[in-house]
Structure 1
């Protein structure tokens, strides 16, 4: 690569320009626009006080379509359910640990299994899905204790360079937090981190978020801030395991961040990207025009399929062999 091209790439990153493949879309698909209309019309939110008195939420069951082409094993780690899914045919040597989103308060839902299914189909990877403890019943310490145990167990049977830490929204912060924790505790580093619309600053302190929020059909910043306080407990919300945007990003594996531009969390993702480039971290931000929060959970949307194809390319998995 020429010196001029290297300088252009660095400047583009520092200015917040997203560098994507040649097939990147410049405007939202019809399916994306229709999905956003549906989400805006059907958005319902529980009162925050109701979380304190709720029965603990149950996760959605593994989808039958996943069981058709994956061997599924459920086990207990620290008293929490952990699912291991392995393709019955055509498995690659990659293994994802996937942490679901839900504002740290919501259980895994059917759309999260759609994400898992898309990852398996497009990459041939096995996937481990830990159902980490939620807030307000728990705080972040219990989650990280579980996730470290799951990671150590996987390291005992899988090369670290073939492990991908992956998650969406709150689960995206957990995936990145695990990579930071592994580095800081001298655990072997995973091969890659893949983040879908990660929640990088628990306090959502950037005033630019207010400009994007009217376009967001799913999230409200004020509600997220309350849930963030529950999750942190008495800890400093700017700590690296709670708000990875404030972490030292040096010495981390390659990080791929996928985001929609109509998601209020995009503001912090762009800041994170610029900060990463300044310290020489290997972070790529892929922005999808008009994309809503974690649109990757709607695999019938063309932009979602684009995301999974990009992940397969980044992992150097032959797409021709994937459905």
Structure 2
């Protein structure tokens, strides 16, 4: 049960600035002023602009009827990882996240499946969560060894909501959770949604309010399957959280760590000073992104 602040590296300001500019451009595709279909295409095309890790084999498969990318290291450790992409529950794709997920699979040495779930507003809650549950069950049935569930932003929120649903049903939980900048409070009550608006180049607080309305219209946003910050965390698996100190979702991670710790969960939350929303996705340009993944590997090695 740890909250740790990671100090920035010095001497790499140019790379940091280039990555920050890239984050700003990527974030524009998430804003409500961007046409939905255009925003989706822009985020999807990120999978073509950044080279993947060449040490893993990538294949297009189906998992529970969902379009899925599978990444296979040459000699993977036992078990697999299910990755759930972010994008505000309305955008994002497995292909758009493939440069990052390929690197995560390689560094963790873990076979990984990244799914395309149904998106809002065409498919509001619980459609996306239902897809994640179906993929989880299909993967559990056909594998041996531990199953890790990971996700970024809204995908990290879905990873938490999935675990809360499985717990409520009395089913086997993931063996570990890896969460990057989790969006887990759709009531947007965190102070950082206001105080970090200027600092975060990728995400703005008022975008969260509009995104929540698209994902769960006319619903109780405190429902633990919508805002898993309000779930009962007793019995949850070991959880690693990485978040930037400059991002609007900082308080989601801080409050999540506090609630999980209070419930007795083995949880580690790293706050990377001077960095922004979803910063690990901007490797290989951003050295801190690679450092974050190395730390995740060390954390996972101790738990599996």
Q: Normalising to structure 1: TM-score of the pair?
A: 0.82
Residue 236 of structure 2, aligned match among 244, 252, 258: 252
**Residue 5 (structure 1) aligns with:** none
Out of 232, 236, 241, the residue aligned to residue 216 of structure 2 is: 232
Of stretches 40-49 and 96-105 in structure 1, the one that deviates more from structure 2 is: 40-49
Structure 1 pair 90–274 and aligned structure 2 pair: CA distance change class (3 A): same
Partners of 1:36 and 1:127 in 2: how far apart?
A: 27
Counterpart of 2:57 (choices 62, 70, 73) is 70
Aligned to 2:277: 293
Task: Answer whether contact 1:192 1:255 (CA < 8 A) is retained.
Answer: yes
Q: CA 1:111/1:299 → structure 2, altered by over 3 Å: closer, same or farther?
A: farther
CA contact (8 A) 1:83 1:128 kept: yes
- Partners of 1:201 and 1:315 in 2: CA distance: 26
What's the CA shift string for 1:244-286, capped at 9, x where partnerless? Answer: 1111111100110001101110112111211222222221101
Once residues 227 and 182 of structure 2 are traced to their aligned partners in structure 1, the CA distance between those partners, rounded to angstroms, is: 10
Cα deviation for residue 67 of structure 1 reads 6.9
Distance 1:113 1:278, change over 3 A: same
CA distance in 1, matches of 2:248, 2:185: 12
Deviation for aligned residue 1:309: 0.8
**What is the CA–CA distance in structure 1 between the aligned matches of 2:251 and 2:39, rounded to whole Å?**
32
Q: What is the aligned-residue RMSD (CA, Å)?
A: 2.6
Q: CA deviation at 1:146?
A: 1.3
Contact 2:72 2:110 in 1 (8 A): yes
* Rounded Cα–Cα distance in structure 2 between residues aligned with 1:225 and 1:127: 32
Larger Rg: 1
Indicate how the Cα distance of structure 1 residues 123 and 44 shifts in structure 2: closer, same or farther if over 3 A, else same: closer
Q: How far apart in 1 are the matches of 2:162 and 2:252?
A: 19
How has the CA–CA distance of structure 1 residues 55 and 77 changed in structure 2, closer, same or farther, with 3 Å as cutoff? farther
Contact 1:229/1:237 (8 A) holds in 2: no
Selected match of 1:103 from 78, 81, 88? 88
Q: For residue 131 of structure 2, what is the aligned residue in structure 1?
A: 146
- Which runs of no fewer than 5 residues in structure 2 stay unpaired? none
Asked if 2 retains the 8 angstrom alpha-carbon contact of 1:94 and 1:124, the reply is no
3-state DSSP of counterpart to 1:249:
coil
Q: What aligned pairs does 1:36-115 form with structure 2 within 5 A after superposition?
A: 36-37=20-21, 39-40=23-24, 44=28, 47-48=32-33, 50-51=35-36, 54=37, 57=40, 59-60=44-45, 65=52, 69-75=56-62, 77-78=64-65, 80-87=66-73, 89-108=74-93, 112-115=97-100
Consecutive unaligned residues in structure 1, runs of 5 or more: 1-9, 318-323
Provide the TM-score with structure 2 as the length reference. Answer: 0.87
CA offset at residue 192 of structure 1? 0.2
